[in-house]
Amino acid sequence: MDKNPAKRLPATMRQLRVFDSVARHSGFGRAATELHLSQPTVSMQVKQLSEAVGLPLFEQLGKRVFLTDAGRMLQATSAEMFDAWARLEMQVANLKGLKQGRLRISAVTTAKYVVPRLLGPFCQIHPGVEVAFEVGNRSAIIERLARNEDDLTVMGVPPRGMEIVSHPFAENPLVIIAPRGHALARSRRIPLSKLAGQPFLMREQGSGTRLAADRFLHNRGIRLDVRMEIGSNEAIKQAVAGGLGLSILSLHALGPDAAPRSLVALNVEGLPIRRHWYIVHPAGKRLSVVAQAFFAYLKAEGSHIKFPTLAGFSDQGGTVQRA
């Protein structure tokens, strides 16, 4: 091995990003998926970085890879470099104002119907802003928040036990949905207790929707017959439309084209469950000019979001009311 470090090629930020992803996922396959790269490309980037460092960065045991001592040192160093680069980006964005800049947004899966509808007009007002938008389940988004990977995060239930700043900016009501042909579809003021014997399809434990629904039901002494847990709003909607059971979902999860031909929001006493979307960032984080502008934009425009119209509820200026 060449002992002259001056002859080695320097590490690049791209290689460090790839290395960081492999380290976090303990594998090349999931890193490749996250980075939208082929697995051979990820392996090559890590190999070139290892050659630049002069020592192996990973050791492989079975299908998982683990950091070597050199890898752990590089991980700490690369984290400092990413932080320094982020500070530089923020300072440059501040110098440029809103003419140019980068905005990193992450959101839980249900919010994917909300955030783009706000990002679109914001980007039209500020066409020089480049946006990176990451969507994931609640646990993945909380991990990103803990690692300070984004400027702002959108979620329905801010995590407890973390030093964060959170601000509600839009309603996020939960309703009980059923197939249009369900026996209760035309009923009014259905007692919540009457649904206890119905089969339900629910989001997985730990999701924001499930946390809010469980808390609401627990406070009213209601225990649902949960037949299946599904980690996708889209799959739940299809399952409900197919007659497999009822579900509790955000009206926003139904999307702007909320299949009114196949789904109905039941008119249940005490519903919708009143919730909000929150914009979140780590406490003490210095927001760039772009992030500050989008934060202010959300607070000003979030209340104007329109909801899908389903039988049982009507859209009244962004507030869900019984029809």
DSSP class of residue 246 equals B
Per residue in 71-86, pLDDT (tens digit) is 999 999 998 888 888 7
pLDDT at 259: 47
Question: Closest Cα partner for 139 from 92, 90, 205?
Answer: 205
Predicted confidence (pLDDT) at residue 286 exceeds the cutoff of 90? no
Q: Are strands 129-136 and 101-108 parallel, antiparallel or unpaired?
A: parallel
Lowest mean pLDDT among 94-98, 113-117, 124-128, 175-179: 94-98
Helix, strand, coil abundance in the chain, percent, nearest 5: 40, 25, 35
Query: With 70 as the cut, is the pLDDT of residue 123 above it?
Result: yes
Query: pLDDT-based confidence at 8, cuts 50/70/90?
Result: low
Domain with CATH 3.40.190.10 in the chain: 91-171+276-304, 174-275+309-322
- Tell me if the domain spanning 5-77 has CATH number 1.10.1060.10: no
Given a contact cutoff of 8 angstroms between Cβ atoms, the answer to whether 175 and 302 are in contact is no
Compute, in degrees rounded to 10, the torsion defined by CA atoms 39, 43, 48, 53: 130
pLDDT tens per residue, range 164-190: 999 999 989 999 999 988 999 889 999
Provide the CATH number for the domain formed by 174-275+309-322 in this structure: 3.40.190.10
Q: Where in the chain is the domain with CATH 1.10.10.10?
A: 5-77
Q: Region 251-262: what's the mean pLDDT? A: 67
Whether residue 323 is predicted with pLDDT greater than 50 in this model: the reply is no
- Higher-pLDDT residue of 320 and 46 is 46
pTM above 0.75, yes or no: no
Q: How much of the chain, in percent, has pLDDT values that exceed 70? A: 87
Q: Select from 144, 135, 138, 142 the least CA-distant residue to 114.
A: 135
| Residue 309 banded pLDDT, cuts 50, 70, 90 | low
Please, what is the average pLDDT of the chain? 85
Locate the DSSP E strands across 5-108.
58-61, 64-67, 101-108
Q: How far apart are CA 33 and CA 251, in angstroms?
A: 30
Our measurement of the distance from residue 234's CA atom to the centroid of its chain's CA atoms, rounded to an integer in Å, reads 15
Both tokens assigned to 113? 């119907």
Q: How would CATH label the architecture of 91-171+276-304?
A: 3-Layer(aba) Sandwich (3.40)
Segment 41-64, tens digit of pLDDT: 999 999 999 998 989 999 988 778
Residue 317 pLDDT greater than 60, yes or no:
no
Q: How confident is the model at residue 308 (pLDDT cuts 50, 70, 90)?
A: low
Residues β-bridged to residue 164: 282
pLDDT of 146 over the 60 cut: yes
What is residue 257's predicted lDDT score, i.e. its pLDDT?
52
Higher pLDDT, 106 or 253: 106
Amino acid 62: pLDDT: 79
Question: Is pLDDT above 90 for 158?
Answer: yes
Question: Is residue 275 predicted with pLDDT exceeding 80?
Answer: yes
> What secondary structure does DSSP assign to 87-118, as a single string?
HHHHHHHHHHTTSSEEEEEEEEGGGGGTHHHH
* pLDDT for res 150: 95
Question: Contact, 281 vs 163, CB < 8 A?
Answer: no
Write down the pLDDT at residue 10.
75
Per-residue pLDDT of 193-244, as tens digits, reads 888 889 999 999 888 899 999 999 999 999 999 999 998 888 999 999 999 9
- pLDDT at residue 312, as a whole number: 46
Residue 127: its pLDDT value, please?
87
